[in-house]
Structure 1
Amino acid sequence: MGGNGKHRWKISFYRSNSSSRLPPKELLCPISGSLMSDPVVVSSGQTFERLSAQVCRDFGFSPKLEDGSRPDFSTMISNLAIKSTIQNWCHHNNTEYPQAPDLFSVEKTVRTLIADDREDQGIRVFERELLNGVAERPPIMYTHAATELGRRVDHFYSSSSEDSVVIPSASPPTPLPFATRPSCYSSSSSSEVIAEDETPNSSSPGREEEEQLMMKLRSSEVIEQEEAVILLRKLTRTKEELRVSLCTPRLLSAVRSLIDSRYSTVQQNALASLVNLSLEKPNKVKIVRSGFVPHLVDVLKGGSSESQEHAAGALFSLALEEDNKMAIGVLGALPPLMHALVRAESVRTRHDSALALYHLTLVESNRVKLVKQPNAIATLLALAKSPASASRVLLILCNLASCNEGRSAMLDANAVECLVGMLRRSELESESIRENCVAALYALSHGSMRFRGLAREAKAVEVLGEIEKNGSERAREKAKRLLTEMRGREDEPNWDSLLESGAGVGLGPTRYRVGVGRNVHTANSTTF
């Protein structure tokens, strides 16, 4: 007994001293559990060791992950961000960079997973239904203006149909000029050279005609490629019923290769065709899983002005689908969208970039990623002061204020003073902007005694009091709730007076900011 106990004590001692050197979970391959040597992002957005993903694809097996999802290995793209993080972790921990795994050991691991998965399939039907029935889908309530895009009671569900842009009958303010279709879709462009009288006839193209289209898309002759993408753009623009039937893996593969074309007409029409295909809900996930996002990111970084319009429009359209949001963020779309929002020449590009960021930041992981971008919060606050971009940027800020990281960064960037200043400006005529300013302030106030001091310095009480008297119904309601939150409960001690008088033991500035004795809520728990 003594020997076994001693042995167990040694193992426990070793782990307790090495736990700080264990790599973060996101750097480990979900299949092998080891630090990744060549991390890749697969079509469904998860990151795996390349060899593990290849073996699973060769075996035709998709393992069940911890969150219950099953990855799609049809496309693999190197995840340079994770690879760089692994290199930094190894450097800081004096650890050698991991070697490529052995093929035999990976195959053995995958075969074990396949055997375990087959055993799990033996669960009886009624037991599986019970397990599915207890899946957690907590309702996330948002506090934005009623005039924003769409109605979101539960952010786990979203609709890309235009029917979702509905203003509740109880509050009929003027809607913001948002739509569920990219702005580039509604405009003709210089590269769309087919005249109106050349519109294809109303009959659906037969298989032979589709094969001819594919032959031209795959052709090495640039003229034939150009003819093919122009025709495809015309078909998918004028005949909505063809979008789903034409969105096949081989056609998507051909279009994806032409997005990288050095010929502007080919590239622009290929991108425009992709935007048209992405308008249909059944196509959205299929397009992301076909590996288009990295190509769209590259176009945003260095494409022509018109190509950037279509790339931003495609990302906005694809971001409407809930299952795409995390994958688009993982594949690196947030930084170029932020850059396009600020620097793009085209108004349409800036418009669709803002809406893409808005939909992407409905997901917690993307909110954190965007907040960590250098100067992202300061840039968004500056853009919020511009009448041309305020309506859309405020929606993004409302999303960011609903997470702890975003709330802290916004308070550090003097967001309270900025938002109160916007409310004080008499030229702010849009009621939706007022509503979203108040909503952002309310989100910033949650669980933060620090907010009260900043709001007092910005003289927010008098501004909110004016809105409570003369604002719209929803603005008045939000202002009233915010004023109540700022004043605190009647039975709450007056910490300001205690601090000024020096009364109380241990009531220093740090404790004042934390908010002693308050009932702290999260931003997403409040309904307006």
Structure 2
Amino acid sequence: MDMASIKCLINSISRFVHLVSSQRSKPMPIQKDYKTIVDVLKLLKPLLDEVVDYKIPSDEILYKECEELDMAVNGAREFMENWSPKLSRILSAWRGEPLLITIQSSSLKICSILSRLLQSSSSGSSLIGLQHCVQEIRCLKQERVTEYLEEALKSQRKDTMPSTKHLMKIIELLSLSSNQELLKESIAVEKERMNVEVSDVRGELDQINQMVILVSHIREFMVKIEHLETASGIPIPSYFRCPLSSELMLDPVIVASGQTFERSSIQKWLDHGLTICPKTRHRLSHINLITNYTVKAMIESWCQENDIKLPTNSDGFNAISVPSPSDRVSPEGSIHTDSNSTSRSSLEVGSVFEKQMKDVSTRLSGEKSNGCHSSEKDHSSPKQSCTHSRSESATSAVSSNDYAPPAFIKVSGISNKHENVNELSGEITSEHPVASTPNKESAMPSRLSGKHSLISKIKAEGTWTDSPIYPNRHQLLPFSSSGSDELTTSSHVMKLIEDLKSQSNEVQTLAAEELRLLAKHNMNNRTIIGQCGAITPLVSLLYSGVMLTQEHAVTALLNLSINEDNKAMIAQAGAIDPLIHVLKTGNDGAKENSAAALFSLSVLDEYKAKIGRSGAVKALVDLLSSGTLRGKKDAATALFNLSIYHENKARLVQAGAVKYLIELMNPDTGMVDKAVALLANLSTIGEGRVAIAREGGIPLLVEIVETGSQRGKENAASILLQLCLHSPKFCTLVLQEGAVPPLVALSQSGTPRAKEKAQQLLSHFRNQREGAMGKGK
């Protein structure tokens, strides 16, 4: 045996040191331990270099130890390379720490051997370096989380609860102190258990089952020590907390096992493909989520009794409001029934338009209607509409480039036929509440009767009612700030139009606000306001220096645009440039509503190109990058509609949209499906494909194919197909990211469209491989 084993070890150390030094984007649970070991290996490497450079006589013992250390270093490097933030922290520490212990032990043995070899053939400086290395290794007495894990597992095997000390150390060392981190850990461990279950590795499965139990113990321990309380110091009863996230249930739902969870928490669990009940450990017969109205009512009652104000979610509505028995609508605005509720918590009826466009520019602000109502009674039956949220917009539904809809819908993706998206309504209201009966969701018609589509029932207003900038805003209103259902008169509207032209800013603001509210609910009011000539002065006010006036004006125009005639008049009044001005200069609410208004106008085919040429794309991309969450959603919705027009795709890419869309592919943003749907449109042009690859989109797309929603998987597979078909280089990158296993799974268990895309990709990979083999012959 020669110096080859030492040289291999030196090379492995260099690779490992480089990897650890460059690991900044995704810190591991035991990252600090790895960095400490790297410091030791940096001291050891010069000594090994000296042995090779000066050909110092060595023996078999050194070679053997070098081989063992080489295996441990390479194992640690591969472990780091394969690690992902989505993996279990507990299992990562359990598998990663033993490698570090082996490296530490083996390094010490090599130093001992080198000490003997260098005594006679090296300078004093080498021996000093060796002594320093030995001292550093011996001083490594860091806390090992595996020690606490082992003790906790021992307790569990004895059917006893792990000690408080051990649990606290595990929580501290692995940063599992927050409810959300524990939820992520629960999902990660369960996914690992499923993977091992498939591979049928008995011993490992038993170990992971113990880890699943340990996570449950940690969660129970956290609940005990947190004493979860409200802001007023009142303890929250354990039965009002989600068994999965330990947080107060704002939207409790029942799963197939009969257990109740917070919707957002169990939805994350299901979205990762987990079909085991987190509490009973029984397999779920279905993944439908049914709102638990009993628990919901109990929580609301408890909050009222204790004078507790419930939190509101990011969409600005009360996340725990309990509908009456006749108004069974979830906070997301979804109708849930025993057999037809879905885990996506969205109203899904037959029409692709209704699915795609259901929340294109909904606005659930402080100006909200109660429960579920039909829109104007002259245009649809009470059963045909309900309040929708902004949680799902057109862009999250489907890319327009290759979606083949059902035969009864003559569209491709999001249709550009404006008659199918006639109206974009401010808010769903009616004089008549909707009477809900079980299993009505499947019976809902896919297309509404009359000339108004479902989109006319969708809310279009933005958030302004709770603005801290205008605390006394309500004093300005001569009538209810929630909007007016009363039919106005032409004479009254004419008076308001005169006020819009007043020299007084306050008078202008009052008039714009009243027109906004009159147009918010009543279809006839929108017609009267448009016919009286209010649109032109409202467009002029978009340049107002008073932010509140500007916001009222743009929101009034958005509400008026629900009416097709008004939409055309707004476009003809030259509103595009003023709307872009609002996008650049307005407050958050005004920017959001300006983006929604541009979307509304872009429904008109001739204005897709005009808006694209006007400079709106750059302003929308800016909103996509730095706006509020609602603003980003509105910008994505508008950009999606503009991207249907082919020439606009290049404009979006040139404006830098791809970079921000890839950033929005982070699940924490809640915009993954919207971002991927828009990227699917942009991937049909060369510039778009290059930008997607350049901005690091390929790894994220592969991840979405594996863990995303059904719609996200479809569009991610579509993008990857575009990349691979047009570039062998991109195809190689996709393969390097490990795309084959998730694509195989998708080809077998995805939706029909997802299966088709996955099969096309896999077939392309095979053809590429066979072609390469043929050339090799």
The question of 1:143 aligning with 2:402 is answered yes
Partner of 2:417: 157
Distance 1:258 1:493, change over 3 A: closer
1:380–1:397 Cα contact (<8 Å) kept: yes
Q: C-alpha distance in 2, partners of 1:418/1:240?
A: 44
Partner of 2:461: 185
Partner of 1:432: 711
Provide the aligned length of Structure 1 versus Structure 2: 342
2:704–2:712 Cα contact (<8 Å) kept: no
TM-score, reference length from structure 1: 0.58
Distance 1:242 1:453, change over 3 A: same
User: What amino acid does structure 2 have at the position aligned with 1:403?
Assistant: I
Q: C-alpha distance in 1, partners of 2:442/2:664?
A: 28
Partner of 2:574: 291
Structure 1 residues 164-313: aligned runs within 5 Å: 185=461, 189-190=465-466, 193=474, 194=477, 195-196=479-480, 202-206=486-490, 208-248=491-531, 250-313=533-596
Partner of 1:463: 742
Q: Secondary structure at the match of 1:226?
A: helix
- Could you say which structure has the larger radius of gyration? 2
Q: C-alpha distance in 1, partners of 2:733/2:727?
A: 10
1:184–1:348 Cα contact (<8 Å) kept: no
> Shift of residue 205 of structure 1?
0.6
The question of 1:359 aligning with 2:638 is answered no
Q: Secondary structure at the match of 1:247?
A: helix
The question of 1:494 aligning with 2:775 is answered no
> Shift of residue 411 of structure 1?
3.6
Q: Secondary structure at the match of 2:421?
A: coil
Q: C-alpha distance in 1, partners of 2:456/2:692?
A: 28
2:493–2:532 Cα contact (<8 Å) kept: no
TM-score, reference length from structure 2: 0.40
> Shift of residue 305 of structure 1?
1.7
> Shift of residue 257 of structure 1?
1.6
> Shift of residue 332 of structure 1?
0.6
Q: C-alpha distance in 1, partners of 2:718/2:616?
A: 27
Q: Secondary structure at the match of 2:461?
A: helix
> Shift of residue 258 of structure 1?
1.2
Partner of 2:323: none
1:145–1:436 Cα contact (<8 Å) kept: no
1:144–1:398 Cα contact (<8 Å) kept: no
Higher relative contact order (CA 8 A, sep 6+): 1
- Residue number among 653, 659, 665 corresponding to 1:378 in the alignment: 659
Q: C-alpha distance in 2, partners of 1:229/1:445?
A: 52
Give CA-to-partner distance per residue, 1:257-306, whole Å, 9 cap, x none: 21111222211111110110112223223312312122221222222122
Q: Secondary structure at the match of 2:550?
A: helix
Q: Secondary structure at the match of 1:478?
A: helix
Q: C-alpha distance in 1, partners of 2:400/2:504?
A: 53
Distance 1:352 1:269, change over 3 A: same
The question of 1:422 aligning with 2:699 is answered no
User: What amino acid does structure 2 have at the position aligned with 1:382?
Assistant: E
Distance 1:394 1:417, change over 3 A: same
Q: C-alpha distance in 1, partners of 2:748/2:646?
A: 35
Partner of 2:196: none
User: What amino acid does structure 2 have at the position aligned with 1:369?
Assistant: R
Give CA-to-partner distance per residue, 1:339-390, whole Å, 9 cap, x none: 111211x32211111100110111111101111224x323222211334111
Distance 1:279 1:141, change over 3 A: closer
Q: C-alpha distance in 2, partners of 1:251/1:402?
A: 41
Q: Secondary structure at the match of 2:512?
A: helix
> Shift of residue 255 of structure 1?
0.7
Distance 1:168 1:322, change over 3 A: farther
> Shift of residue 157 of structure 1?
2.5
Structure 1 residues 48-87: aligned runs within 5 Å: none
Partner of 1:318: 601
User: What amino acid does structure 1 have at the position aligned with 2:512?
Assistant: V
User: What amino acid does structure 2 have at the position aligned with 1:350?
Assistant: K
The question of 1:336 aligning with 2:619 is answered yes
Partner of 1:394: 676
Q: C-alpha distance in 2, partners of 1:437/1:213?
A: 50
Distance 1:460 1:199, change over 3 A: closer
> Shift of residue 156 of structure 1?
4.7
Give CA-to-partner distance per residue, 1:120-172, whole Å, 9 cap, x none: xxxxxxxxxxxxxxxxxxxx97335979xx98428553432479xxx999xx9
> Shift of residue 478 of structure 1?
2.5
Partner of 2:754: 475
Give CA-to-partner distance per residue, 1:58-100, whole Å, 9 cap, x none: xxxxxxxxxxxxxxxxxxxxxxxxxxxxxxxxxxxxxxxxxxx
User: What amino acid does structure 2 have at the position aligned with 1:357?
Assistant: L
Q: C-alpha distance in 2, partners of 1:404/1:223?
A: 51
Partner of 2:651: 369
User: What amino acid does structure 2 have at the position aligned with 1:482?
Assistant: L
Distance 1:179 1:383, change over 3 A: farther
Structure 1 residues 13-92: aligned runs within 5 Å: none
> Shift of residue 337 of structure 1?
1.0
Q: C-alpha distance in 2, partners of 1:249/1:399?
A: 40
Q: C-alpha distance in 1, partners of 2:667/2:720?
A: 18
> Shift of residue 222 of structure 1?
1.8
The question of 1:454 aligning with 2:733 is answered yes
Give CA-to-partner distance per residue, 1:467-525, whole Å, 9 cap, x none: 1223334322331232223323xxx89332255x4x6xxxxxxxxxxxxxxxxxxxxxx
Distance 1:244 1:450, change over 3 A: farther
Distance 1:365 1:443, change over 3 A: same
Q: Secondary structure at the match of 1:241?
A: helix
1:182–1:316 Cα contact (<8 Å) kept: no
Q: CA RMSD in A?
A: 3.5
Q: C-alpha distance in 2, partners of 1:382/1:297?
A: 24
> Shift of residue 235 of structure 1?
1.4
2:462–2:555 Cα contact (<8 Å) kept: no
> Shift of residue 229 of structure 1?
0.8
User: What amino acid does structure 1 have at the position aligned with 2:663?
Assistant: A
Q: Secondary structure at the match of 1:262?
A: coil
Q: C-alpha distance in 1, partners of 2:683/2:565?
A: 32
Q: C-alpha distance in 1, partners of 2:411/2:723?
A: 20
Structure 1 residues 90-129: aligned runs within 5 Å: none
Q: C-alpha distance in 1, partners of 2:735/2:600?
A: 41
- Residue number among 687, 691, 696 corresponding to 1:409 in the alignment: 691
User: What amino acid does structure 2 have at the position aligned with 1:308?
Assistant: K
Q: C-alpha distance in 2, partners of 1:213/1:162?
A: 24
Q: C-alpha distance in 2, partners of 1:274/1:253?
A: 10
User: What amino acid does structure 2 have at the position aligned with 1:205?
Assistant: T
Q: C-alpha distance in 2, partners of 1:379/1:256?
A: 30
User: What amino acid does structure 2 have at the position aligned with 1:436?
Assistant: N
